[in-house]
Structure 1
Amino acid sequence: MKDLFSQHSFGYKQARPHYSIQIIEEILKYVPEFGFAWDCGAGSGQLTQLLAPYFDHVVATDISAAQLQHAPYFENVSYQLQPAEQTSIPTQSIDLVTVAQAIHWFNFDAFYAEVKRVLKPHGVIAVIGYGLIQVQQVEVHNLIEQLYAETLNGYWEPERRYIDEQYQTISFPFHEYPVPQLSLNYSWTAQQLLAYLKTWSALQHYQTIHSDDPLQHLAQALTDAPERFSVTFPIWLRIGTVLA
């Protein structure tokens, strides 16, 4: 598993989109018991905090100590510095495994072997991701598309392709349940939009090499744009269980 976000952990927590209760409710439909959940690649707890009210205990793991330090405190949540592919979680102890916007960094075979080891019989795994930001205002959206596909071309990690492919090209060796099309919808200010874009790993890679600001044209366009922007992130959700 790669760690690309420790250096900017606080900005990541502040600027990244927050998951919706609708996503949680869709996942929980298939969870038979609510004793223990494992939120893997938890980062600063964006998904963990939504799981906490439903489970007796949540184990949230990540390889970034800096990210975990920014996670919110809950009495029933244990934050642990552990890789996704090998943990100290007891065998057949987990009712739900979640991994949000992180599985594309994992060694799939090793991670899935660990999931199958820790899940109880009929336990559930849920993989969540979100796609490229969509902005309703056409000019701004086109500038973001240009930034993503042209300016930052060659600066994205190769694993980014799994998000572009909507997580459908990632192996998923489980009995998979049907899920509806979901999205995250926000009304963001120009500052929120720029703050989110600054969390892109490719933009950070670009800035280590070049002196110019890749967000300059977009920032200029935002000065003449409306005060708030309608923003959507398409959600990629896969839910499954181990067949007996």
Structure 2
Amino acid sequence: MAELFKKQAELYVKARPSYTPELFEFIASKTPNHDLAWDVGTGSGQAALSLAKIYKNVIATDASAEQLAHASKLPSIRYHHTPSTMTIEEVEHDIAPQGTIDVVTVAQAVHWFDLPNFYQQVNWVLRKPHGVIAVWCYTTPQVDNSVDTVFRCLFSNSESFMDPAREMITDKYKSLDFPFDPVEGLDHTGPIVFEAKKLMELDVYLTYIRSGSPYQTALEKGVELLSEEVIED
């Protein structure tokens, strides 16, 4: 997974949207303690920055050193480059002791994970009984009918360059194996819908598209999805 994001790390931090504050307020409302958060697959740290406004300390990890190099630094965030999979011993040594983490978050990344291995780590580190795991993704952007029509065509043309793991995003994580109990006050684990808005100039919108793994995979194969005609449309 980390290899997919080496080349577009700088594009990713420039164009990817931040997550709505309401999302983090909701998560924080489900964790009585706000001492320690672990943001897994943090990328360039978008979610970690928001977590740091609520939790005293944040551990933010990623398998891509290139992504971490573009992350914004704060004293309360400890960024750590990890292998794609870790043993419990490595988690204990490099992340946190057993039962000490209030919340584990994964933003736009859990579909890349070795889920059985990851879930074992989550169960090890989460505080009992009130630790929470929250994972989320965003799907295709929506602007207006004319722009969205062009994007849908572009998206269709890029499907052959998508990793199969991305299918979970297409169905909004409804097919995600998620063996955890719902948080207090809910009778299901989701998905729960939040809306994030971002004002983009056209060049930033195009950079957003270029930051995606399907675009980069197509480019490596000599296919330019964002042709002059598509950009003009």
TM-score higher than 0.5: yes
Aligned with 2:10: secondary structure? helix
Q: Post-superposition shift, 1:134? A: 1.5
Aligned residues: 219
Kept after mapping to 1: 8 A contact 2:44/2:71: yes
Kept after mapping to 2: 8 A contact 1:41/1:99: yes
Identify the match of residue 107 of structure 1 among 96, 109, 114: 114
Query: Normalised by the size of structure 1, how large is the TM-score?
Result: 0.85
CA gap of 1:32–1:147, structure 2 versus 1, over 3 A, is same
Deviates more, 1:173-182 or 1:45-54: 173-182
Task: Tell me whether 1:187 sits opposite 2:181 in the alignment.
Answer: no
In 2, the alpha carbon distance for the partners of 1:190 and 1:83 equals: 36
Matched to 2:194, the amino acid is L
Deviates more, 1:99-108 or 1:48-57: 48-57
Deviates more, 1:79-88 or 1:37-46: 79-88
Residue of structure 1 equivalent to 2:173: 167
Q: Post-superposition shift, 1:140? A: 1.6
Matched to 2:136, the amino acid is I
In 2, the alpha carbon distance for the partners of 1:47 and 1:215 equals: 32
In 2, the alpha carbon distance for the partners of 1:170 and 1:3 equals: 23
Matches within 5 A, 1:65-104: 65-83=65-83, 85-86=85-86, 87=91, 88-89=94-95, 90-104=97-111
Kept after mapping to 2: 8 A contact 1:95/1:123: yes
Residue of structure 1 equivalent to 2:160: 154
Gaps of 5+ in 2: none
Q: Post-superposition shift, 1:211? A: 5.2
In 1, the alpha carbon distance for the partners of 2:31 and 2:84 equals: 21
Aligned with 1:120: secondary structure? coil
In 2, the alpha carbon distance for the partners of 1:100 and 1:27 equals: 13
Q: Post-superposition shift, 1:97? A: 0.4
CA gap of 1:215–1:135, structure 2 versus 1, over 3 A, is farther
Residue of structure 1 equivalent to 2:13: 13
Give the structure with the higher percent strand.
1
Q: How well do the aligned residues superpose, as a CA RMSD in angstroms?
A: 1.6
Aligned with 1:193: secondary structure? helix
Query: Normalised by the size of structure 2, how large is the TM-score?
Result: 0.89
Matched to 2:20, the amino acid is S
Kept after mapping to 1: 8 A contact 2:158/2:225: no
Matched to 2:174, the amino acid is Q
Give the structure with the higher percent helix.
2
CA gap of 1:198–1:126, structure 2 versus 1, over 3 A, is same
